[in-house]
Amino acid sequence: MANQFACKNQLRMISGSDFLQLEDLGRDGIEISQPVSTSRELATILKANIGIKLIEA
């Protein structure tokens, strides 16, 4: 549902979640092609939308 909304509205897609069951740990997320040391660096990378791979389980 969220994925369809993001695609339809041309939004950037990032992924992550809390988890309620151990088997759901680490199933989704993002992979970034460069090291990130601060939240400011992460925000810059996400805004540029370059070198980000969405991991979907």
Of residues 21 and 39, the one with the higher pLDDT is 39
Of residues 15 and 50, the one with the higher pLDDT is 50
pTM of the entire predicted model: 0.64
Of residues 39 and 50, the one with the higher pLDDT is 39
Domain that holds residue 20: 15-55
Total structural domains within the chain: 1
> 57 pLDDT exceeds 80?
no
> 25 pLDDT exceeds 80?
no
> 17 pLDDT exceeds 70?
no
Tokens 């660096």 appear where? 41
35 in a structural domain: yes
36 in a structural domain: yes
46 in a structural domain: yes
> In Å, what is the CA distance from 35 to each residue of 5, 8, 31?
29, 30, 10
Amino acid (one-letter) located at 39: S
